Structure 1
Amino acid sequence: MREIGIPHPRLPLPPAGEADEPATFLAWLGEAIPMVEHLGIEAMRRDGDTLEWRLALAPSLNDKGTGFGGALTAQTTLLGWCWTTLWLRRHGYDRDVVVAEAGQRFLAPVTGDYRLVCLPEAEEGIERLAERLESRGKGRIALVQQLWWGDTLCLEARGDYAVLPAR
Structure 2
Amino acid sequence: MSLPRQPGVPHPRLPLPEGQLEDLAAFQQWLSDAIPMVSGLGISEMTRQGDSLIWQLALGPNLNDKGTGFGGALTAQTTLQGWCWVTLWLRERGIARDVVVAEARQRFLAPVTSDYRLVCTPAVSEGPTQLANKLAERGKGRIALTQQLYCGETLCLEANGSYAVLSER
Q: TM range, normalised to the smaller chain?
A: over 0.9
Query: 1:3 deviation in Å?
Result: 0.1
Distance 2:28 2:97 in 1: 18
- Structure 1 counterpart of 2:18: 15
Q: What do you get for the CA RMSD once the two structures are aligned?
A: 0.5
Distance 1:22 1:14 in 2: 11
Structure 1's unaligned 5+ residue stretches are none
- Deviation track 1:84-121 (CA, whole Å, cap 9, x = no partner) reads 00000001110000000000100000000000000000
Query: 1:20 deviation in Å?
Result: 1.2
> Which amino acid in structure 1 is aligned with residue 35 of structure 2?
I
- Structure 2 counterpart of 1:62: 64
- Structure 1 counterpart of 2:31: 29
How many equivalent pairs are there? 166
- Structure 2 counterpart of 1:137: 139
- Structure 2 counterpart of 1:125: 127
Q: Percent identity?
A: 67
- Deviation track 1:138-164 (CA, whole Å, cap 9, x = no partner) reads 010000000000000000000000000
Distance 2:128 2:25 in 1: 25
Distance 2:27 2:168 in 1: 21
- Structure 2 counterpart of 1:150: 152
Structure 1 runs of 4+ with >3 Å offset: none
- Structure 1 counterpart of 2:168: 166
- Structure 1 counterpart of 2:73: 71
> Which amino acid in structure 2 is aligned with residue 164 of structure 1?
L
Query: 1:34 deviation in Å?
Result: 0.1
TM-score (ref. length: structure 1): 0.98
